[in-house]
């Protein structure tokens, strides 16, 4: 197996390098690589020159310990570790029926995982070491991070193997996690005792003169909590070593823990094949959805009554309906929960920062910030258009629709969602800020400003979406409609694409912007604040005409596109 | 060559295969047929040692798959219906990799001959990610044959092959059987099964419905005499009404 695995690794690496070298002959690829390297170089230099925002290394170590504790607790109690056992589909096909022992399979997996671990070590050592304010030299720092990541990976694999084994024995539910629950009880008790020991002698006063976080940090260093948490602190303790000698002394226990984990994972001939196959299938599905930016369908229950499609009507309506239905049926509840969570954190932050009219102020500010974010990034995020249909171009081409109608329907789908979101957020933001007394402008001015802004935003959104869809149609290899595994060249490609898109958007916006501004300026004396609406309307119409010309041209290009090459 | 006794596979409460017993002798081609969800792929994957049976025993070339997995697996090849290959290995390297996995020294010209047989010559230096679906299937088949297995298991082997590829694949399977290889072939193409297989195992809901040559099956059920495998299959799996044209 060693021989075969070595062959697989070396030949794959060699072929990958050869492919990259061949692609470098293409100017497009070389340019993307150049931009990617420049970007990463600037990031690296920025880290070296930036003397601010450094965290104390003890805080990093403390945070790492807590994070590790949370992760380990999650793996043991909830069993969210199955993916740790995943192999690639090719590995399942070739290695599982082959005469290979289970230990050899696990060793293979451990060696293969080093690729990701080494990449992480590289990123931390080159880009984040300075930010952490670590006093360690590059070498010892990289070794510490390698030991840490490897121990975490081995622990996750060990949990997955143990849970697979006890599942084989028919254990389920709480029975499967009783050990972890017992540990959590011990941990909570130890934390309570250590916190009490950090309290003033009377036990009645405030916790301590320091901040709660500092008290917690000190409690972690006080027995019995320090003893219970010792295994979680060991991998990161070398980070805090001020000298090479102390680093070496602290590295010893960390290496011992790593060795212990290796022994734990490899010690028994445990049956893990089925759990591995299940995890591999799940990972392959997740990977497929992630690459295609798909969400898991939430089911037909998301079909709303008002969204039902009548058989009569313009086909563009059917295209928009199809895309909107797809969006509604794939917006996951977890995504909505995450958004609500982010909103709650944002409001919390504003309440803390400005208690007076805090809720309204925070809501208003957040809503308006999001309008700005959506105006810039919305056309990249909302992709229920041609970009989501690039692998179905042959089907789209078979529909009895002109190119203009089809491309318009596709682009309008994203535009409708984007404009609706922006209109809702902008209205809510403006009303909230006015109620909070921050936007002290007369109501007509507020309404006129809002209307003008939304009109201009609609036109800009439409143009931005035309650019994104056009790029996907005309340069499919440049605009990735699927997320592909890639490296520096992808970073460079994305930078270049984003730069060109912004430039095009500015070019398209100049004419209508000037015209709209002129109209608003000329009408200002006669219709006062409503001149903004008139200017916005002229600007939006100008952008709309440009968008129509773009769509017409893209439609004709669509009719002449060979789906097999797109 | 293959001895299966009391094979049962449960997925939680779901019974995928129940108490299945059969044998395949050297040179024999056993056709595994059944409706969707009958347990064909589970049976094949259990025979290949990819998944472990809940109970029962499987012996491959005299070696027990549970207690001597390496000895058993060294003698078998499993070719799944969906070829899964390593993106960054070339066609030739896939074959070399398989030979190393099975610790077989390739006789001179073996890889070239296989590539010729499967019409992969000219593609030997192409990466797997550059191959068409049919080519990938041919490469997966080549990887299954390169270590000269004594037991061959094929799941829908003709998927994605062109007519010439199908003809050659049929010839290859028959030739391997003539050379003493025990073959288990799972397919929905009953014509293929009828043409190639010496015996047929019909599964339904994880249970054995019939086992034997077509004449043996008909011998047990005289009412089926004169019917082809398709009609026998439909009749035995409770789809009698589908047999009426």
- Which tens digit of pLDDT belongs to each residue from A103-141? 888 888 888 888 888 988 888 887 766 666 667 788 888
Structure token pair of residue A247: 């680093």
Q: Is residue B236 part of a domain?
A: yes
Contact A386, A407 (CB under 8 A): yes
Mean pLDDT, residues A493-522 = 89
**Among A201-205, A499-503, B100-104, which is the least confidently predicted range?**
A201-205
Of the segments A275-279, B113-117, B148-152, which one has the largest average pLDDT value? B148-152
Q: What is the DSSP letter of A240?
A: G
> Could A93 and B48 be called an inter-chain contact, meaning their C-beta atoms sit closer than 8 Å?
no
Instruction: Quote the ipTM score.
Output: 0.80
Question: What's the mean per-residue pLDDT of chain B?
Answer: 87
Closest C-alpha among A548, A536, A529, A528 to residue A512: A536
List, in order, residues 6 or more apart from A264 with CB less than 8 Å away.
A154, A158
Phi-psi region of A70 (alpha: psi -120 to 50; beta: other; left: phi over 0): alpha
Mutate to test the interface with A, among B71, B80, B101, B131 (most CBs of A within 10 A): B101
> Could A97 and B50 be called an inter-chain contact, meaning their C-beta atoms sit closer than 8 Å?
yes
Partner residues linked to B155 by β-bridges: B186
pTM of the model: 0.71
Chain B partners within 8 Å of A15 (Cβ): 88-90, 93, 127
Q: Is residue B21 part of a domain?
A: yes
Higher-confidence residue: A235 or A309? A235
Percentage of chain A beyond pLDDT 70 is: 78
B234 CA to chain A: closest CA distance, Å? 32
Question: Residue A537's pLDDT band (boundaries 50, 70, 90)?
Answer: very high
Question: Residue A510's pLDDT band (boundaries 50, 70, 90)?
Answer: very high
Beta strands B207-212 and B199-204 are antiparallel
A283 CA to chain B: closest CA distance, Å? 15
Structure token pair of residue A329: 């049926």
Closest C-alpha among A301, A381, A307 to residue A333: A301
Higher-confidence residue: B228 or A429? A429
Residue A296 has pLDDT above 70, yes or no: no
Q: Break chain A into its structural domains and give their ranges.
A: 54-288, 309-559
**Among A210-214, A272-276, A505-509, A556-560, which is the least confidently predicted range?**
A210-214
Residue A464 φ/ψ, nearest 5 degrees: -60, -40
Closest C-alpha among A215, A167, A166, A156 to residue A191: A215
**Among A106-120, A351-365, A459-473, B150-164, which is the least confidently predicted range?**
A351-365
Residue A486: per-residue pLDDT: 59
Residue A464: per-residue pLDDT: 94
Contact A394, A563 (CB under 8 A): yes
Chain A partners within 8 Å of B14 (Cβ): none
Alpha-carbon distance of A149 to A116, in angstroms, equals: 10
B180-197 exposure pattern, b = at least 16 Cβ within 10 A, e = fewer: ebbbbbbbebbebbbebb
Burial (0-12, 13-18, 19+ Cβ within 10 Å), B125: exposed
Q: Is residue B30 part of a domain?
A: yes
Residue A420: per-residue pLDDT: 92
Residue A247: per-residue pLDDT: 86
Residue A173: per-residue pLDDT: 53
**Among A250-264, A369-383, A389-403, A536-550, which is the least confidently predicted range?**
A389-403
Residue B23 φ/ψ, nearest 5 degrees: -135, 150
| CB-side neighbour CA atoms (13 Å) of A302 | 14
Percentage of chain B beyond pLDDT 70 is: 98
Q: Is residue B42 part of a domain?
A: yes
Q: Is residue B120 part of a domain?
A: no
Question: Residue B106's pLDDT band (boundaries 50, 70, 90)?
Answer: confident
pLDDT digits (tens, 9 = 90+) for A405-442: 999 999 999 999 999 999 999 988 888 887 777 666 77
Alpha-carbon distance of A34 to A41, in angstroms, equals: 10
List, in order, residues 6 or more apart from A148 with CB less than 8 Å away.
A64, A235, A236, A254
Q: CB-CB: which of B71, B76, B89 is closest to A97?
A: B76
Closest C-alpha among B118, B99, B120 to residue B108: B99
Q: Is residue B68 part of a domain?
A: yes
Residue A480: per-residue pLDDT: 57
Alpha-carbon distance of B118 to B121, in angstroms, equals: 8
Residue A496 has pLDDT above 50, yes or no: yes
Question: What's the mean per-residue pLDDT of chain A?
Answer: 79
Largest CA distance in chain A: 88
pLDDT digits (tens, 9 = 90+) for A249-271: 888 999 999 999 888 888 766 67
Residue A547: per-residue pLDDT: 94
Beta strands B63-64 and B55-60 are antiparallel
pLDDT digits (tens, 9 = 90+) for B118-146: 888 888 888 988 888 888 989 999 999 98
Residue A292: per-residue pLDDT: 64
Residue tagged 């970073």 (tokens)? A491
**In CATH, what number is assigned to the domain containing residue B27?**
3.40.50.300
A101-130 exposure pattern, b = at least 16 Cβ within 10 A, e = fewer: ebebbbbbbbeebeeebeeebeebbbeebb
Report yes or no: A97 at the B interface, CB cutoff 8 Å.
Answer: yes
Contact A379, A351 (CB under 8 A): no
Alpha-carbon distance of A87 to A284, in angstroms, equals: 9
Domains held by chain B: number: 1
SS (H, E, C) chain B: CEEEEEEEEEECCEEEEEEEEEEECCCCEEEEECCCCCCHHHHHHHHCCCCCCCEEEEEECCEECCCCHHHHHCCEEEECCCCCCCCCCEHHHHHHHHHHHCCCCCCCCHHHHHHHHCCCCCCCCCEHHHCCHHHHHHHHHHHHHCCCCCEEEEECCCCCCCHHHHHHHHHHHHHHHHCCCEEEEECCCHHHHHHHCCEEEEEECCEEEEEECHHHHHHHCHHHCCCCHHHHHHHHCCCHHHHCC
**Helices B133-145, B91-101: inter-axial angle, 10-degree rounding:** 30
Interface of B with A (CB under 8 A): 48-52, 69-71, 73-74, 76-78, 80, 83-90, 93, 96-98, 100-103, 127, 140, 143
SS3 at position A166: helix
Cβ–Cβ contacts within 10 Å for residue A557, how many? 14
* CA B243 from centroid of its chain's CA atoms: 27
Structure token pair of residue B118: 């499967």
> Could A99 and B48 be called an inter-chain contact, meaning their C-beta atoms sit closer than 8 Å?
no
Beta strands B29-33 and B199-204 are parallel
Residue B150 has pLDDT above 70, yes or no: yes
Partner residues linked to B204 by β-bridges: B207
Residue A199: per-residue pLDDT: 64
Percentage of chain A beyond pLDDT 90 is: 17
Q: CA torsion angle for A60, A65, A67, A68 (degrees, to 10)?
A: 140
Question: Residue A472's pLDDT band (boundaries 50, 70, 90)?
Answer: confident
Structure token pair of residue B168: 């050659």
Alpha-carbon distance of A408 to B91, in angstroms, equals: 44
Alpha-carbon distance of A494 to A525, in angstroms, equals: 46
What is the CA angle A154-A156-A157, rounded to 5?
65
| Complete DSSP assignment for A529-555 | THHHHHHHHHHHHHHHHHHHHHHHHHH
pLDDT digits (tens, 9 = 90+) for A34-91: 887 888 778 777 766 655 555 566 667 777 777 888 888 778 777 656 677 888 889 8
> Could B74 and A97 be called an inter-chain contact, meaning their C-beta atoms sit closer than 8 Å?
no
Of the segments A356-370, A500-514, B113-127, which one has the largest average pLDDT value? A500-514
**Among A237-246, A266-275, A291-300, A459-468, which is the least confidently predicted range?**
A291-300
Q: Is residue B50 part of a domain?
A: yes
Residue A478 has pLDDT above 70, yes or no: no
Q: CB-CB: which of B69, B74, B101 is closest to A4?
A: B101
Closest C-alpha among A272, A345, A310, A342 to residue A92: A272
Across the beta sheet with B2-11, what order do the strands follow?
B14-24, B2-11, B55-60, B63-64
Contact A468, A380 (CB under 8 A): yes
Alpha-carbon distance of A133 to A110, in angstroms, equals: 31
> Could A12 and B89 be called an inter-chain contact, meaning their C-beta atoms sit closer than 8 Å?
yes
Alpha-carbon distance of B204 to A93, in angstroms, equals: 26
Contact A323, A469 (CB under 8 A): no
Contact A32, A490 (CB under 8 A): yes
Question: Residue A207's pLDDT band (boundaries 50, 70, 90)?
Answer: very low
Structure token pair of residue B121: 């010559």
Largest CA distance in chain B: 56
Beta strands B63-64 and B76-79 are unpaired
B60-93 exposure pattern, b = at least 16 Cβ within 10 A, e = fewer: bbebebeeebeebbbbbbbbbbebbbbebbbbbb
Q: Is residue B198 part of a domain?
A: yes
Which domain covers residue B202, as residue numbers?
1-75+189-245
Mutate to test the interface with B, among A23, A94, A284, A288 (most CBs of B within 10 A): A94
> Could A96 and B50 be called an inter-chain contact, meaning their C-beta atoms sit closer than 8 Å?
yes
> Could A99 and B100 be called an inter-chain contact, meaning their C-beta atoms sit closer than 8 Å?
no
Closest C-alpha among B102, B97, B206, B119 to residue B169: B119
Residue B215: per-residue pLDDT: 81
């Amino acid at each position: 197996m060693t021989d075969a695995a070595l062959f697989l690794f070396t030949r794959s690496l060699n072929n990958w390098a050869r492919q990259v070298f061949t692609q470098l002959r293409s100017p497009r690829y070389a340019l993307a690589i150049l931009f990617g390297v420049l970007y990463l170089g600037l990031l690296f230099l920025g880290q070296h020159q930036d003397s601010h925002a450094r965290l104390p290394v003890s805080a990093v170590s403390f945070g790492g310990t807590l994070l590790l504790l949370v992760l380990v607790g999650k793996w043991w109690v909830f069993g969210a570790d199955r993916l740790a056992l995943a192999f690639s589909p090719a590995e399942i096909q070739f290695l599982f029926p082959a005469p290979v022992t289970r230990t050899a399979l696990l060793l293979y997996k451990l060696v293969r995982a080093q690729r990701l671990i080494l990449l992480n070590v590289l990123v931390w050592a080159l880009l984040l070491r300075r930010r952490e304010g670590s006093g360690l030299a590059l070498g010892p720092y990289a070794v510490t991070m390698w030991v840490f990541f490897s121990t975490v990976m081995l622990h996750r694999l060990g949990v997955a193997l143990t849970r697979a084994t006890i599942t084989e024995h028919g254990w389920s539910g709480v029975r499967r996690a009783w050990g972890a629950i017992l540990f959590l009880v011990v941990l909570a008790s130890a934390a309570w005792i250590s916190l009490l020991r950090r309290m003033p002698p009377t036990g009645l006063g405030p916790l301590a003169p320091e901040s709660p976080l500092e008290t917690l940090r000190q409690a972690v260093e006080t027995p019995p909590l320090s003893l219970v948490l010792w295994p979680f602190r060991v991998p990161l303790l070398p980070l805090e070593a001020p000298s090479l000698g102390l680093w070496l002394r602290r590295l010893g226990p960390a290496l011992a823990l790593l060795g212990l984990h290796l022994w734990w994972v490899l010690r028994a001939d445990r049956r893990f094949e089925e759990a591995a196959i299940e995890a591999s299938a799940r990972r392959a599905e997740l990977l497929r959805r992630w690459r295609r930016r798909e969400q898991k369908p939430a089911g037909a229950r998301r079909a709303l009554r008002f969204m039902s499609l009548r058989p009569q009507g313009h086909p563009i309506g059917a295209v928009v309906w199809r895309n909107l239905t797809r969006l509604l049926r794939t917006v996951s509840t977890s995504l909505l929960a995450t958004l609500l969570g982010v909103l709650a954190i944002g409001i919390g932050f504003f309440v803390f920062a400005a208690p007076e009219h805090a809720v309204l102020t925070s809501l208003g500010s957040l809503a308006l910030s999001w309008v700005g974010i959506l105006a810039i990034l919305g056309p990249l995020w909302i992709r229920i258009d041609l970009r989501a249909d690039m692998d179905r171009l042959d089907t789209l081409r078979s529909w009895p629709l002109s190119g203009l109608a089809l491309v318009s329907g596709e682009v309008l789908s994203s535009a409708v969602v984007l404009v609706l979101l922006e209109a809702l957020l902008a209205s809510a933001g403006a009303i909230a800020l006015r109620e909070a007394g921050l936007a002290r402008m007369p109501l007509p001015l507020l309404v006129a400003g809002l209307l003008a802004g939304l009109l201009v935003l609609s036109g800009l959104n439409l143009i931005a979406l035309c650019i994104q869809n056009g790029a996907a149609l005309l340069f499919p290899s440049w605009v990735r409609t699927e997320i592909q595994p890639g490296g520096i060249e992808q970073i460079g490609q994305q930078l270049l694409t984003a730069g060109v898109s912004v430039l095009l958007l500015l070019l398209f916006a100049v004419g209508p912007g000037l015209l709209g501004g002129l109209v608003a300026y000329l009408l200002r004396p006669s219709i006062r604040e409503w001149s903004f609406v008139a200017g916005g309307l002229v600007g939006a119409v100008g952008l709309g005409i440009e968008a129509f010309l773009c769509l017409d041209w893209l439609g004709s290009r669509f009719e002449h596109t060979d789906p097999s090459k797109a | 060559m293959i001895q299966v006794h009391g094979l049962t596979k449960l997925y939680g409460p779901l019974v995928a295969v129940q108490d299945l017993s059969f044998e395949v002798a050297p040179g024999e081609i056993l056709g595994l047929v059944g409706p969707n969800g009958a347990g064909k792929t589970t049976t094949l994957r259990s025979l290949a040692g990819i998944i472990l049976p809940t109970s029962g025993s499987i012996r491959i070339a005299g070696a027990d798959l549970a207690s001597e997995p390496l000895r058993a697996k060294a003698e078998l090849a499993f070719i799944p219906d969906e070829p899964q290959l390593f993106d960054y290995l070339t066609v030739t390297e896939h074959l070399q990799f398989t030979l190393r996995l099975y610790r077989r020294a390739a006789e001179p010209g073996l890889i070239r001959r296989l590539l010729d047989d499967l019409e992969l010559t000219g593609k030997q230096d192409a990466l797997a990610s550059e191959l068409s679906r049919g080519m990938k299937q041919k490469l997966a088949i080549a990887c299954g044959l390169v270590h000269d297995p004594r037991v061959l298991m094929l799941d829908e082997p003709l998927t994605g092959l062109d007519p010439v590829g199908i003809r050659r694949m049929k010839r290859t399977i028959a030739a391997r059987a003539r050379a003493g290889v025990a073959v288990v072939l799972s397919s929905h193409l009953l014509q293929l099964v009828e043409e190639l297989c010496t015996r047929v195992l019909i599964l339904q809901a994880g249970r054995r419905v019939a086992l034997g040559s077509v004449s043996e099956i008909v011998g047990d059920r005289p009412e089926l005499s004169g019917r082809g495998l398709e009609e026998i299959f439909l009749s035995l799996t409770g789809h009698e009404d589908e047999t009426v044209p």
